[in-house]
Amino acid sequence: MAYDLEEQEKLEALKAWWERYGTLATAVVVVVALAVAGWSGWRAYQGYRANQAMGYFEALEDAARGVNGPGGADAATRIKAASDTLRSEYAGTAYASRGVLVAAQALEEKKDYAGAQRELEWLVARKDQSTLQPVARLRLAGLLLDQKQYDQALAQLNNPPAAFAALFADRRGDILAAQGKRDDARAAWQSALAAMPANAALKQIIQLKLDALSGA
């Protein structure tokens, strides 16, 4: 097949470009293909892990619903086993932190305070769980308050996130009142009121605490 001069020049230019960049172009195509395949594989693996974590979380929830029933002791054992697996093997998933809160609540209802504390302390130590970590700190402070471990409870309430400032101040007031530090408790509750929206339902409860404190 004959080519005219212009076509021959194009072919020669293409041949020269391929001789110079062909290996690099092939390598780029291969790298891109491997990256796409790797990303797809990673997403599939993450999806598999998420499904596995969800299974343990659902098992934990199921056990928690039966913790106060006739098989409460067995339910508590299953709760701890499921939570241990979530914390050790799926710590980076949302199911682990959510599972800890469910487990802690169930164990506290079972009066297994040491078990509940262990669950909450794990979540408190997880700096990567910024959404649920403050919830764990509040819950842990309340658990320690119930056990009259006042100093340890107050330590959980230092440097509250802005979104939790009012709730932390309210819990601080509870602890200080339990210690008999009425003036400090009043200041904490007043701080909580000031930090809350005007229509917050909790404001009425805090006001009742202040009224009871003034009448004591």
pLDDT at 42: 43
pLDDT at 1: 47
What pLDDT, in 10s, does the model give residues 111-136? 999 999 999 999 999 988 888 999 99
Mean pLDDT score, 25-51 = 58
pLDDT at 28: 62
Whether 31 shows a pLDDT value over 80: the answer reads: no
**Please, are residues 130 and 153 in contact by the beta-carbon 8 Å criterion?**
no
Whether 37 shows a pLDDT value over 90: the answer reads: no
pTM to 2 decimals?
A: 0.76
Using pLDDT thresholds of 50, 70 and 90, give the confidence band for residue 45: very low
What pLDDT, in 10s, does the model give residues 54-109? 899 999 999 999 888 887 789 899 999 999 999 999 988 889 999 999 999 999 99
Distance from the Cα of residue 195 to its chain's centroid? 24
Q: Provide the 8-state DSSP code for 71.
A: T
Q: CA quadruple 204, 205, 209, 211: dihedral positive or negative?
A: positive
Distance CA 178, CA 149 (A): 10
Of 20-29, 37-46, 80-89, 125-134, which gets the smallest average pLDDT? 37-46
Does 35 or 207 have the greater pLDDT score?
Answer: 207
Of 5-19, 28-42, 117-131, 144-158, which gets the smallest average pLDDT? 28-42
Distance CA 31, CA 34 (A): 5
- How does DSSP assign 74-125, residue by residue? HHHHHHHHHHHHHHHH-TTSHHHHHHHHHHHHHHHHTT-HHHHHHHHHHHHT
**Please, are residues 93 and 70 in contact by the beta-carbon 8 Å criterion?**
no
Residues 6+ apart with CB under 8 A from 182: 213, 216
**In the predicted model, what is the mean pLDDT of the chain?**
84
